[in-house]
Structure formats: C-alpha cells, structure tokens
Amino acid sequence: MAKKILIVDDDKVIVFIQKRTLQINGLLADTLDFSNGKLALDYLKSQNEESCKYLVLLDISMPVMDGWEFLEAIQEEDFSKQLSVVMLSSSIDKADLLKSSQYSQVLTYIEKPLDAAKCSKIIELCKAK
Amino acid sequence: MNQNSIIFQLIEASPYPQILVTPDYPDFTVAYVNQSLLNASSISRDEVIGKGVLELSHRLFDKAHAESIISGLKQVLDEKKSNENAISINTKWKAKNEPLFNDKGELEYILRTASEIGLITNEGYKSIFKQAADAIFISTGEGYLLEVNDKACAMFGYSREELLTLHAKDLVSKDDLEATPLLLKDLPEKKSIVHERKAIRKDGSIFFISLSATLLHNGDVLTIARDITNRRVQAQALKQSENRLKAMFNHEPNCVKIVDKELVVLDMNAAGLEIIEAECESEIIGKEVLPLIAEEHRSSYSNAHLKAYHGTPSKVVFKLIGLKGGVKWMESQAVPFTDYKNNSKCILCITRDITDEKEANDLLKKSMERFELAASATNDAIWDWDKVNNKTWGNKRLHELYGRKNDTGYFNSDTFFPQVHPDDREELISRLNTALKNKAEKVSGEYRFKTSTGEYRHFFDQALIAYNDLGEAVRVLGAMQDITERKKSEEALLKSDQKYRYLFNNNPLPMFIYNFETLKIVDCNIAACRKYGYTREEFLELTIKDIRPVEKIPQIEKATSIVVKAGDFHQGVWEHMTKDGRLMNMEITNHIIDHEGELSALVLANDITEKFKASQELLKSNRRLKSSNRIAQLGYWEFDLASKKVSWSKELFKITQIGKNKKSVSIENCFKIIHPDNVETITNLLNQCIEKQQANESYFKLIWPNNEIRHIHAVIRISKVENNMVTVLEGTLQDVTERIEYIKAIEDQNEKFRKIAWIQSHVVRAPLAKIVGVANLIKQNSLSEIEKEELLTHLLDSSAELDQIIRDIVEIAEQVRIDANG
C-alpha cells in the first residue's frame, strides 16, 4: 500500500525544516508540500488511488484556505477515510488543541518545530491506526 | 168683637147643640160651637173652629144630610130669614137656621140650632128657661115683660112679680135709652137683634148687658141678657190694647200685613210699605202679594200662607223683590186671622227683613260647615263643653275614642275624667281649675286617655275658655291631639340620645363639639380632656383656637369662615397643641350638626402623630424607591388578563416611549414595540407564567418610535389567582441597554486581549518555532556547508520577524489602553 506525506504550510522555512527532519528520522515516503489548504484539497481530489494513504502535516494559519477550513472541506469527501492528519502548528492555544480533537481524521496536535521525538510519535500513531 | 163674645156666650149657654157659622157660601166657616153640640157629636172644638160646614158635614154625615145642611144655610143667606130643616130623615133631630145681623143690619152669622123633634115640651122648656145661666125675658112686641127667669131677677135685683110689672125700657138707663131707643120695633123685620145696653138695677146701680132679642112666632119677643160689665171693662181695656196694637201695627219695624185666601193684600203697615219699596198703600193694597216673591219661593210662600189660612200657623223664608227691584231675604210668620171689620177670614203675616241675618247666618253656616269639615277631617278629637249645662259636643274622632258608633251618645265632664289615666287625672283637673280660677283664655295639658280598645294613648289637649259678662266660664272648646306615636318617638329618641351620650362620653377617641360661629367648645368627652390635658371645666372655657399653635390660627380662622350647613362633613389633618404645649398631628373629622339650635361641629380627633411620622418615613421611602427606579430605569407594571390592560407609569413611559400620561396601555400596544425577533419569546414567556403559575424573566429588545433599539430586562410574577386561574400578572421592566453595551465593550476588549494572546500564541511563536527548528537542524552534523549557510539565513530572518512581531504587540496593547480610557 502506497503512502504519501503532504506538508501543508505556507512558510518555506518550516517546510524545509519538516522535510529535513522527516528525512533525518527515516520517514522516506513520497513527500509533497502545499502552501495552503486549497492546493492540498485540489491535489487530493485529483488522485484516484483509493488504496493510497495520506499523512497530512497541517498548519492552521495559512492564506486562501486555513487548516480548519481544510478539515471542514474534507468531511464530505470520499477520500477523507484515506487521510490521517497531524496538526502541526506554532500555536500553543489550548482552544486549538481542543478544536482539532473534534475531527476524526486528526491523529494528534503537535507544536512546532518538528523534531526527532515528535517524528517518532507520529510514526507510532500511524502504525497504531 | 164684644158683640161676638156675647153671641158666643149665649150659644154656649144654650142647652141645645148650636153652631155659629159665617155667611161665606159655600164653606160656611164655623165661628163657634157650644158644648152641647160637642157633647152630642163627640168632637173637639179645635177640630171644628175655622173649618167649613161643608167639609165638616161631609165628615160627620152622609152626602144627602150634608147637602141638606148647606141647602138650609144657603136659604138663610139668600132670604135673610130663618128656616128649619131636618138633619136626617133617619133621625129624630131637626135643625133651625137663624140669621144674626149686626148693628148695621148686615148678616154677620147664621146660627144653627139642633133639637130633637118633640123634645122641647112645655115642661122641658120651663125647666131650661128656669135654669138658664143667662137672664131671659119674654115680652110683648111693645116691650112689656111677660115672663122672666130666676137669673133675670137676680141680675136686676127685682122679684119676678116686680119685674112682670115693668117695661123693658125700665131696665135700661135713661142716657142709654136717649142715645139708642129700644129696637123692638125693628124685630118684625129683622126677627133677631143683638146689641149691648147700659142696664139699671132696682137699686139704681148701672151695669152692662148684652142682649139678644128674637121675635117669636106669636109676636112676643124673647130676650136673653148677660151681665157683661166685667167684659165691658175688659173690652175697654181691650180697646185700649187694640189701640196700642194699632199703634204697634203702624210703628212695628217689621212688615205686618193682612192678606186674604188669594194672597191679596188687605192691609199693610208703614214698615211693610217701606220694605216692599211702595210709595203709598195704593200700590199694594188690593193687589196680590205673590209678584213680590221671588219665583222660586212662590210655591212655598203660598203653601205656608194657605196652611195658616186653614188654622195652622206657619213660617216661611223667601226672597222678596221690591217694587223698585230691591232684593231682600224675608221671614214671614202667618197665622189665621179673622177680620171682623169685614167679617172675613184672612191671614195675618208678620214679615221681617232677615237679609243681614241670613247673610250672617250663611256666613255662620259656611263657617260651621268649614268647622264641621275641619272637625271631621282632622284626626284630633274636637270637643265643645257647654259648662253651664255640662254637655259636650264632640266630633267623629271623639266618638271613636269612646267607641260610640253613629255619633250617638253624649259627653260631659263625668264621662271624660274617668277615662283619664289615674296618674294624670289629678294634675289635669288641677290645671283646668287653676285656669278657670285665673280666668285664663287657654288651658292645655298632656295626659293618657283610655280609648274604646282599653289602651291608654297619650294626648295633648289644648282648649279655649269662654266667659260670660259675669266672668263665669260658660264654654270650653278644645282639641285632643293623639301624640302617642310622638311620645314613643320621644322616648326612643331619649333612649337613643342617652345611648349616643354614653358613646360620646366613653368613646376612646377624643370628641368635642364647638359652636361654628363663636368657635367656643361647648361639649367634650373624657378622652378629649385626657388627650389635651385639660379638666372638663377648663376645656369648656376654650375655643378651638386655643388648642392650636399660634402660627396655625389664621389657617383655622380661614377654614371656619366658609359657609356650612348641617350635614356637611369635612376631614383633614391638623396640628393640635396640648395644655403643656406638646404638638400632635390630629386627624380631624368635622360633622356639622344642629346642637341645641346652634350650628355646631362635632369633632372626632384621632392622634396620628406616630402614624404621621411613619407615613412621612414611608413617603421618604417611596420617594427613594421612585428615585431608585428612575435611576435604575425600572418600571413596575400590572397586567389584568380580563381587560387586557397593562397599568402604566411615568417610568414605563421613559423606558418604552409609549403611554405618556396614561394610567394603562393595551397589551396589543405593548407588543407593537417589541422587536420582531423577541415577540415569540415574550409571548411564550407570558403563556408559560400563566399556565405554570410561576415567575420568569427574560431579556428582549424593543424599538423606540425613533427606531432606536433598547435592551430590556423583564421580570414577570404572579399577582393574583382566582379559581386556580391567574388573573393578574405583575412585574418590572428595566432598560439595560447601557449595561448590555458596557458588557459588549468589555467583550470587545476581551476579544482584543484574546487577539493579543492569539498573536502571542500563533504569530510570536511561529518565528520562534522556526528558530528552534533551524537550531535543531544545525545541531545535526549531517548538514552541508551550503545547507548550514541557508539555515543561518533562515535563522536571521526568523529573528528579525520575531523582533517585528514583538513591536506590533506593544503597539496593539497601547491601542487597547487608549480605547479603554475612551
């Protein structure tokens, strides 16, 4: 079963950091990045691989379509079951943590920056699902 | 008249039934009957005198007999000579009718003498002759005496023998003979002569006789003489009396007249002429009187006079119309009268002018009628006590009191006083006696009188006393007024008065009465004395000004200067002062009353000093509450479900901007100003309160007329429940717009703070996270120099970004501070 990692963040530094960190920590799947939720959504709609699993590292604050809007948008989509979302945000607001837990696709909420320990946790969660 | 008397006496002396009638055909009125006839016929003289023989005969005898009698009398009238006829063919009686002429030779009477056929025998005749009461002489036609009876001897003082030697003229005085010679020579023609003579006795003494000389069949003369000396004296006296009567007749102030059967006036005195307005006798004498009588009275006048004509005196009142038209009321008394001058039967009338009397009587009658009417109409028992005769007249009411029906029975002091209550009797009698003794005009008294039902009723009796010239009480006129009900009312009033007096004196509230004009206190109760600190004597020396502080006196003077009347009622709170100068707030109730004839005020004074203080406090509290409500923009309302009206106030107007100056507003108008978003909410809220009977509250918006939206906090409670149904709701409306806006401002501010926090969370931490991430990567030894160079560049950029973010935060905080301070 093929797996793809979608990094959805508008900050290139963060995208760089996340890609290098994933790479360093052994997550060598096909990694794609999108600067807002809308681009990621369009991509997912364009894919017809029902057997493919997607791990989405989703930032909240983005232009065009933020993280929350993206989560709302995928709820009615068939591919939503193929998605596992990790909220990866610089916000330490508990409201954001609480809100994210209301979406079934969200595995966890992780504060930036991504590091080795956080990568390990993601791998564990993905395995558990 | 004297002559007639002689005739009557001779007839009376006759032993034969004799009747003397007047020659008035066909009646032949009976002028006299003797006792012999009365004895024979068993009738009384009064039944006969004045009656017609014709009528009498028809009554006493059969028709044929009556006609025979009239026929015999008629024959005398026609022939002027005597005759005989049988009284009845069935009887043994015969009658002789003889004409009697007066001294003028006129036929004055017809004497009818009855005798039994063959009765008068010589013996019988002699016996009668001898025993006759009158002197009887039988003489020759020339006057020589042939026979005399014993009476004749006794009358003239001669013996029979001496008399038989004398001539008739020897028995008459010379002067009388010279004046009037003997009339014997006239006898053959007249058959009978009646006249008077001056006679002379044997001893020369003179006396008067009446003579009746009758020529007998044999040519002798029968003379009957009666001593009339005494009668002459009487006649002279009578003559004088007649003269006096004539004088009286002429000078009689009343009308004296003589009328005949046809009411033709035969004579009338001077007064009569004046009354009928006649200038002279000729205007009335010989004329009928009826034309002078008012038409409506002519019938009664005629009847009364005809009745008198036939012997029954009668009286009639009539209206006379004088010859000159003057009208007078007259009263006439008519009696039968024989005019001997004309020898006819007529009517004597004495008529007096009663015009004034009648008017007075009419007035008196009307007055009496009015009195009777008043006496019968009044409920008073009217009584009139004739004290002299001790008889009392009473009206119907008095009869009722005695239980007498049909106004029968009599009253007097003997029937009255026993009916008076024993306890009142003595005083009543004493009062009456004192009044009589003091010649008082009036007397009055109250007493109990036992009525026919046995009940004692109270009466007030007032009477007028009339005295005669001697000062003696002769009449007492009074009226008994039944005052039982009044007495009962007075007793009830007395009891009531006592009861109210008790209530007044013992009333726990101070009460006093003052004269409304003088303001002087005239009565007070115990509580008033106690409250104001005065004794009763001291209190009654005061005016109402004395129980007020000096500065309030002008106020009380103004208040008592208004016009009031009994029954008026005033109430107010006044400041009163006790004897020791302590001020009290008194709630005064004034009832204007008539107290012993003076316009006064009954005052009920209630000390409300404490209550007044409390009410002042309450007033202050209410003011505070109103102020609070005004400040809090809180309005109270009541919603009556039946009328669908909501009670309104000034505060509610301020809150809603509707119902200015109104006491109530309809629920529909209330709903019109509720914001459409809240109408359903408020409707449900009200329904919920009504159905579940529980209080509730809510916020809603309403729209003012200027479209401004206001936020209202409504509280709803149950005010009244009837038959388990809510009928009245109450609650408050509070304008909370400012509060809401304030909260919103706070929330806005909070939002800004949240935004700062968010910025801190998201924006500030974003470059920080990048710096940490870059640092973590640099720490890895696997990076190339180029990668390290790139990471250092990212590190510098992120640090610069963080610096800028911190600056932005400081700027936003400053802006929030400025906004919060307005």
Contact B758 A91 (CB under 8 A): yes
Of B757, B758, B773, the CB nearest to A113: B773
d(CA A19, nearest CA chain B) in Å = 11
Residues with Cβ within 8 Å of residue B17, at least 6 apart in sequence: B33, B34, B36, B37, B39, B40, B41, B113, B114, B115
Contact B773 A112 (CB under 8 A): yes
Best of B751, B759, B762 to disrupt the A interface by mutation (most A CBs within 10 Å)? B762
A2-11, B704-713, B753-762: range with lowest mean pLDDT: B753-762
Taking 60 as the threshold, does the pLDDT of residue B179 lie above it? yes
Please tell me if residue A111 touches chain B, with a CB cutoff of 8 Å: yes
* A101 DSSP assignment: T
In tens, the pLDDT along B374-428 reads 666 667 888 888 888 888 888 878 888 888 776 566 778 888 888 899 999 999 9
Contact A89 B762 (CB under 8 A): yes
Taking 80 as the threshold, does the pLDDT of residue B255 lie above it? yes
Of B762, B765, B770, the CB nearest to A17: B770
Q: Residue A106: its pLDDT value, please?
A: 94
* Residue (of B341, B258, B232, B239) closest to B5 by Cα position: B232
Please state the rounded mean pLDDT for residues B294-298.
92
Percent share of chain A, pLDDT over 70:
98
Contact A93 B762 (CB under 8 A): yes
Please calculate the CA angle B712-B634-B670 and round it to the nearest 5 degrees: 55
Please state the rounded mean pLDDT for residues B468-474.
85
Please tell me if residue B753 touches chain A, with a CB cutoff of 8 Å: no
| Cβ-Cβ contacts under 8 Å, A96 against chain B | 761
Of A14, A24, A92, the CB nearest to B770: A14
Residues with Cβ within 8 Å of residue B152, at least 6 apart in sequence: B135, B136, B137, B163, B225
In tens, the pLDDT along B489-508 reads 888 888 877 777 887 888 88
In tens, the pLDDT along B779-808 reads 877 778 888 888 888 888 888 888 888 888
In tens, the pLDDT along B634-675 reads 888 899 999 999 988 888 888 888 888 888 899 998 999 999
Please state the rounded mean pLDDT for residues A69-82.
90
The DSSP line for B523-578 is: EE-HHHHHHHT--HHHHTT-BGGGGS-GGGHHHHHHHTTS---TT-EEEEEEEEE-
What confidence category does residue B513 fall into, taking pLDDT thresholds of 50, 70 and 90?
very high
Higher pLDDT, B317 or B567: B317
Taking 50 as the threshold, does the pLDDT of residue B373 lie above it? yes
Phi, psi of B736 (to 5 degrees): -110, 20
ipTM value: 0.88
Please tell me if residue A25 touches chain B, with a CB cutoff of 8 Å: no
List the beta bridge partners of residue B583: B577
Contact B766 A112 (CB under 8 A): yes
Contact B762 A111 (CB under 8 A): no
Strands B93-101 and B83-86: antiparallel
Instruction: Supply the pTM of this predicted model.
Output: 0.31
Query: In the structure encoding, which two tokens stand for residue B701, read together?
Result: 């918006």
Q: Residue B241: its pLDDT value, please?
A: 65
Question: What does the alpha-carbon distance between residue B244 and residue B254 come to, in Å, rounded to a whole number?
Answer: 16
Please tell me if residue A31 touches chain B, with a CB cutoff of 8 Å: no
**Cβ pairs bridging A and B (under 8 Å):** 63
List the beta bridge partners of residue B211: B195, B225
What confidence category does residue B90 fall into, taking pLDDT thresholds of 50, 70 and 90?
very low
Please tell me if residue A128 touches chain B, with a CB cutoff of 8 Å: no
In tens, the pLDDT along B727-783 reads 999 988 888 888 888 888 888 878 877 777 776 777 778 888 889 888 888 887 777
Higher pLDDT, B1 or B44: B44
d(CA A50, nearest CA chain B) in Å = 34
Best of B770, B778, B780 to disrupt the A interface by mutation (most A CBs within 10 Å)? B770
Query: In the structure encoding, which two tokens stand for residue B51, read together?
Result: 């009656």
Q: How far is CA B711 from the centre of its chain?
A: 84
| Cβ-Cβ contacts under 8 Å, B769 against chain A | 14, 90, 111-113
Question: What does the alpha-carbon distance between residue B339 and residue B267 come to, in Å, rounded to a whole number?
Answer: 10
Q: Residue B118: its pLDDT value, please?
A: 42
